[in-house]
Structure formats: C-alpha cells, structure tokens
Structure 1
C-alpha cells in the first residue's frame, strides 16, 4: 500500500482568511493584523489556532485570549466554528479525489489517500507530493504532505518529521528506523499517558519498539500497541474512504481547464466510450453512473444518473449525462477557470446478457418495446430525479391493492417467487378491462341495499351521493391469503356495477354471509 497524508496545520485560520479574500475581491488581508481563533474551554476563552503572523509574534494555541490580546492589541480574534472547519475539510477531501478515488478524512485537520498505482500519472511519487502541496497552497491552505507504506506512518511524518517520502522499495529495517525516530506524541495518547512515558525516560518510538509488548499494553492499553505497530507498518492499516471507488472508471486530464459546455459534452462522450469498453469486457452494464468535474480552483461538482436496465451504449450514457448537465446549467453551472479533470465511473453494474431477437413480427415488437420504454424512463430520471420516475411491477397476489408495486424505474425488478399474477389491465387486450382504470388507494365503505345478503346491491350511497344500479356483473370471488391472512381478513365478492347515469364502479362485499360475517360489509374499490 502507498499512502499519501496531508496535514493542514492552520485549517481554522486559513478558512477565515480565504473567506476574507473572497469578500474583498481576491485582495490579500492586512499583513499587519495577526489572526487567532478562540473557543470557550473549561469556562475560559483560549486560543485554539493561530495564523503564521500570530505564531511569528509569539502567540500559540492554548494561550488565554486575554493574555494574547494584551501581548498584541492588534490581534484579530475570531470565534471557533468546528462545523465550518469540518465542511471545509470534507470539501478538500473531495478535491483530493482528483489524485485518487480513495480519499479519506483524518479529522480534525488531515486527509489520507491510498495512491497505490496512481503516482505514475503525476510523474512519480515525488512529483505527486509536490503537486498536492503546490495546489493546496495556491488555494490559500498551508499544507504538509508525506508518502509512506502505511497511513499511520504517513500521518506521523507530516506532523513530527522533516522526512516527506519513504520510497516504495524501502526495506523493513529502513521503515522501522524512520518510525523509531518519531516522538512519543505520534501515538496520539492522552496527556497523562505521554507524561507517564516521559517520566519513565521514553522519548521516542524507538524506545518502545524493542521492548516487550505485554507490560506496555497492560499499562497503556491495546490501542497504544496497535498504533505503534501501525506506525512501524507491522500491521495493515487500511483507510476508510469517503466514497467507494467504482470498479469501472475512465478519466481525462487537461493542462488548461474546460469552460465551454460543448467541450465538456464531447469529453463525456469520449469517457462514456472508454467506460463501455471496460464494461463490455466484463459482460456487465451500468445501472448507476457518476461524473465528477474538478475545477482548477479546487471546487468539485458531481452528477449521477441511474438506468432502468444494464446499459453499455456510450451514446445513451452520454445522452443521460447531458440531460443531468443541462439541469446544472439551468441552475447556473459555474465553470470558473475551467475543469481540468473529468472522471466517469460506474458505481453500480449488473450482468448484461446480449439480447437475441425472436424470429417474426411479434418477437421483434416485444424486444424493441422494452428498451425504448427503459430509455424514456432513463431520460426522465436524468431530468426529474431517479426516485421520481416510477414503474408498476406485478406482484404474486390476487389482492387488488397489493397486486402491483410502484418502484423507481431505475431499480432492478423485484424477484417474485412462483407465478406472477398480473392484473388484466397490465396486459391490454380486447373488451372491457378486468380491473378498473382507477383503483382507490384504500377501499371506501358504502351503505348498500340488496335483495338477499349474498346477492348484488340494488343501490348504494357513497360520498353522500345515492347511486341506483341499472346493471351488474359478478361476482368474482377473491379469498384471503391463508399464509399471511389477518384474523379479521375475509373473502371478497367483487361486482362490476353500472348506475343509471352510466357511471361504472367496482364494488365488493366483504365476508361470506353466515360463515364469516353475520352482516357482510360493502365497499367501492375502483372506477371504470
């Protein structure tokens, strides 16, 4: 593993200074005004961060704010805002994904990146380190970066060592020698534990690496031993990236940023072609695609779109991405100085079988219709949102209100055991539909009058209106599901009824007279 760590020692003050520059139209703040951030700690106001000018004047974190003000009356004091600091750190981590998809936050002031196999894209590991620092400093962020075989060691180097790079071919002895030179503070123990180690004469990790582990673990806990082994790269210490890296990915880098929408769309099409080649080699298609746009000044924009079927046609993928890009453009897509990195990845894939059309007209019609409908759903989803475009999927039940489920069109069809019982209106066909065009969300009770308890109604009152029936058909009996029936579930007898005004209703009587109900109840369930 090759891990690149970034330490942002003045993140709170850099955030404030960046905001001041933005408000002042890019002008640098007054060079004569040092800046410090304070917070209330144990009932008192103390400095938690200082900028470079304040540090040069002898101020430091941990000082009382009143003492700092007395020393430097010109000191600019700002209250700490941990939420804003965390938001900036998250934005920096997203920006760092231009170097690798595997970027993690190391709170409160660090970033960790797994750059295994990525350094050659930047001219080697040394060049990569320099570019990370240079780009962050250009954004007004003080940064120190280091690259090592593990995240714990890389993190420690950024904070406690002048060494910035341990080569990939370094031996085990060389790595442990570097770890041994680090101070005890690299273990991130509490103050009491550090003082106890200092009283015992233990100043560096080298004083611990050669000692027996059991006494050290008994005194300071297993976590301290685990951190020691992680810094020495004796154990694997994986990072937890903010976003999982897609299995299939294509990207383009540009020396000059892209600002024209037309150039961005052409690049997306080229990336879609590269991505679809990768997908086809593995016999899969994309179900969810994400495009990331990295702006020269550090801002990052993301768009994603889902598909209702596994897709690996580059023109269709590019079309969906253009739809999403158009939404961003309508909202005011700010290209700034341009996007210098564009990345396209398939975050969800599914096995994609090669379609084979049946011989004859009926087979052709059946195979052509489904992709066309899926493409329409994909385009609507790109414009309106993936969760807002729904499709009705038949369910394995005869109960009308549960016979279909409305699910996002981009979701895989649900697996239904056994034979699916689809309502007649999903099949089309000639003659009147076997199910109403409008099914009520819940059956609504009605007051009905019938000649016999088990016969059809003559009239009924629904929503304060009286309906005299002129014709009816039925009954169609639907029994409750015995394997999941409630205690109060009863058999339903459905009737197709038409009143004297020509309105058609779907009515049912709940409960078999004398066997399930002494007084069966009537409901209206749908309209034709």
Structure 2
C-alpha cells in the first residue's frame, strides 16, 4: 500500500469475520498486522481508515510493477501475491553500483517496500519477508514458511533460527519435520538451487507491408489495411486476445506519415468491425487521407489487447447480437464525437442511490450485463436530482403512503411495496456513528397510482427519532 500519514488498511471477509488483508506503515507502527480481525484493529486504532481488498487489482498492479522493473533487468519474476524477484546479476554496474540500482528500483516502484539483496533468490526472498539484516542464519524458522504445526514443533524443540537448524543433521530434520523443511532450508542457505521463472513479455503484434511501387489510391491502401487486420486477427485468436487500441501508419514517399488510431469499448478481433471504425476516423479528419506521391509501406500495431476467449455461437444468439450492436454503436460514436464525449454509467461502491453510479468514458468502462427480459428492476432507471418533496397521507406513521401530491397533482396509491431501509454513510463522517441520530435514514417504497404509473418514494428520517420526517419522490419507473 502507498505510504500515508493516517493509519490505513485493506479489509477482506474471512467466513463471517472481517480481517485485515494488508496494513499501511502507520497502522503497522500501531501494532496492526495482516490477519487481525477488524474489531480488534478498531479497538487498537479507532481512527483506522479501511478500504475493501481487491485481489484482482493487486494482481494487475503487480504485473504493472513487473513491467516497470524490466528497465533494470530482463529477469523479473512474480512472487505472488505481493512480491517481485529481480535477478540483477551483471546489471548493477550499468547504473553505478548496487546502491544506485536499489535506489532506482525503489523510486520506480513508488511504494514503501521491503527489499533485500542476496546471492540467490531464495535467500533474498527470505530476508525481505522475514529479516532485517543480511545474515540468513539469523532468520526465524518462520522463514521456511511451513504449516503452523511444523513451526510449533520446531519451536518446542528449541530450534528458533535457521542457524539452529543448520547445525543439526539434515537426515534427522527430514525424518522429524519433513523433507520440505530441509529443501527450503538448503535453498535459503544456498546449498540447493533456487531458480526463478522470469516473465516473458508477449511479442507485440505489429505487422507491415512494403510495396515495390507506391500505392497511389486510398482504396487500395484500405484493402491492404484490411488484409493486415485479418492477419492480426489470426495472431490474436491463437493467443486468445482481443484488441482494444489499433494504430495504422501509412508511410508516404515524401516521408509524411499520417496515422489512424481507433479504440474499442470491448476487446475485438473482427477485421470488419475495426475497418468500420477506421473509415469513420477517416471521415472525421479535417484533411482528407491524401496519398500524395503514393504509399511505400503500411504498418499496423495492436497497442492494447485483453483476454478474449473464443465464443461459440448458440442457437439463440439474440442477446449476444444485441450486446455486440450496442458495443459497435458506442465505438462508432466515440470515433465521431471523441472518446471523452461518450460516457457510460458504471456501478460505484456506494449504497446511496444517487451515488451508486458514476460516468466514465465508454472506452474505459466494462459494461454490466443487461437484465434478462421480463425482469422488473428493483430501482428505477430515472432518478430525480435532487429528489423532489411531496406531500403524503399515510394510515399510520410507519405505513406506506396512501395518497401523495406532486407538482400540484393528487395521486391515489393502489399498490405499494416496501420499505427498503437505507441508512446514512456514518463511516464517512468525522463523528462516525452517533446513536439516535437517524435523520438521514431513508425508507423507500415502490408504489403505483390509479393510472398505472409507478414511483419511487422515500421518507427521510424515522418517527420518534426525527421531528417531522419528510417525504420525497426520488425516481420514476418506466
């Protein structure tokens, strides 16, 4: 986690309990550690700031850091879920020595990290995770990362450090604590190999076609681009990838290189879909795509790609066709109007209705699945901002409305469903939860009037705790 002044931690659910998955520097200094329950952590640090743990985002960030480390050594290996192993043999002198190399790596990481240098990977990993010095023999037996039963047996036998284990016969240790303990000990001590599996960066998808005679017609160039897209599609299909960003460079004879760049909201490898976007891009150019004295070469590069498994076409492909049509429409509008002008609603980690979604560029969003036909959404698609006050008549204080007046018109309620109670986000307030302060609590009702029109109405506040709770109309159902 990035270093911050306030104590912070990531929280994950473990069964019925919430536990700390990772802690920041300030939280660690206050005695908090990963695996501790959130209740115990709050007791020690009442001002602890928490956020949900996202293992997928952690994995992506670790992959990004691994890519950044390629600048220092070509041999970078992942040590999931929060570590990297770098083989810097023969690389330190290029940066002025080991100290300069370590400083460069830490600066490129941008995080507060634990690091260690050693002659081999197993020792460096053990020192970084379990030690504070350079002597592997002084490491605790926990550096072997055995199960808790084996570690307890080692401690009961008086073996507290790796040096204590190294002084004992290996055959006896293997017979009593298992072969895994001996193998890991020998690897950390350097008596056994500890090879790493470096990341292999996928070969970029870049295709080029050169012509013995310059192409003088734009249509001929478009035919060549389509052929390049077909070849790129075969490569992406073999790798189970789909392109998100495509760049075409046309090399003219007079050394002018016009470029065409298109992005898609979803990974695609259909040449026809990309060609449609490229033609739209050409139509939006202020200057036409002039071949001049002709094109000597054309290059195609897939700048961004994501995993896209092969999809089997079912007998009922109406849903898939609808989703593909919507994605194609979004991509076309993005090319015509600009990617930043086409937005999509995405869910946010907030339970208040007016804050449960946000607008992001459609090319960056991951569209949510559409509701199946016939399903009635529990909340309306149209929300009023801000909610409009209404006058309500109810049979008893906590019952749903029987009649309400909105915009000067009186509506009789025929059907009502609810309430759905939504509390205030007390954890975002400075004072936290204050018992008896229920002024922001909302009771939502789905109601229908005599003409079949459906509304989403809520009461702000609870009777007996809030003087004079008010009613508001928040949304309209289709």
| TM-score normalized by the length of structure 1 | 0.43
Specify the structure having the higher radius of gyration (Cα).
1
Instruction: Tell me which of the two structures has the higher relative contact order, counting C-alpha pairs closer than 8 angstroms and 6 or more residues apart.
Output: 1
| TM-score normalized by the length of structure 2 | 0.47
